[in-house]
Amino acid sequence: MIIVISPAKTLDLKPNVHTKKYSLPYFLDDSKLLINELRKLNPKEIVRLMKVNNEIANLNFERNLSWRLPFNEDNAKQAILTFKGQVYIGLNAKSLKEEDLLFAQEHLRILSGLYGVLKPLDLIQAYRLEMGIPLKNPKGKNLYEFWGNKITDMINKEISNQSQKTLINLASNEYFKAIKPKQIKGNIITPVFKELRGDVFKMITIYAKTARGLMSRFIIENRIENPEDIKAFDTQGYLYNRDLSTKTDWVFTR
């Protein structure tokens, strides 16, 4: 069983003191090609392309210029400890034990506009490149065309090494679009998280993002490899809702 989640825009770049173990991203050569494209953009062009303010544009202009290979412990940090958004608040990787991180390394994958697919302990350098950004590149007009089948092929390779041929989709729509579902050689299950508002269950984005991290942690801490065991997820009041669920969309409500 493989779980996919999205990255985050905000980053924690403080030195890592949680684990000495690390790995390297598989698609670094492709990342370098994208960085070369990003380096062609001045801050004003970054503002227009990424729809960010001048401060963020200047920051990422400098990040693009300082991005360097090879990655090592001095100039890069493990992905799971670097990303800092709502999903990662729920995941709370800094409090995971070493054995938890090693389980995550086998089962959790982070989709990325710049790095394609990341293992939790893959070293990354600071960047901002959301998958939906229309960055023109040698392979097309956006990142979906740039990555083509590479992300899907990598996920299939990961699934082939698992006893349960299942992909648990805890990524946002923007990032999951980089995977071609019809080509996945296994089942795809998408957990959905909803809150009771009045007499109706609704998906509230900020809570759903946090819940994706909470479920990722639940899977990691409980060493879950059978998808059916996910239905026991009950963190922070969520419960599996059989009535609202389908074969592929498993709804959890609170």
CB count within 10 Å of CB 61 equals 19
Pick the closest to residue 129 from 52, 20, 27 (CA basis): 52
Tens digit of each residue's pLDDT (9 = 90 or more) over 213-253: 999 999 999 999 999 999 999 999 999 999 999 999 999 99
pLDDT in tens, 144-187: 999 999 999 999 999 999 999 999 999 999 999 999 999 999 99
HEC readout, 98-125: HHHHHHHHHHEEEEECCCEEECCCEEEC
Is the pTM higher than 0.85? The answer reads yes
Q: How far apart are CA 80 and CA 64, in angstroms?
A: 21
DSSP-derived 3-state class of residue 155:
helix
Q: How confident is residue 18, by pLDDT bands cut at 50, 70 and 90?
A: confident
pLDDT in tens, 64-97: 999 999 999 999 999 999 999 999 999 999 999 9
Residue 16 pLDDT > 90, yes or no? no
Residue-wise pLDDT tens digits, 24-38: 999 999 999 999 999
244 CA to centre of own chain: 26
239 to each of 199, 205, 215, 230, 244, how far by Cα in Å?
17, 18, 11, 10, 11
Q: What is the pLDDT of residue 53?
A: 98
Residue type, 179: I
Residue 158 is predicted with a pLDDT of 97
Domain locations along the chain: 2-253
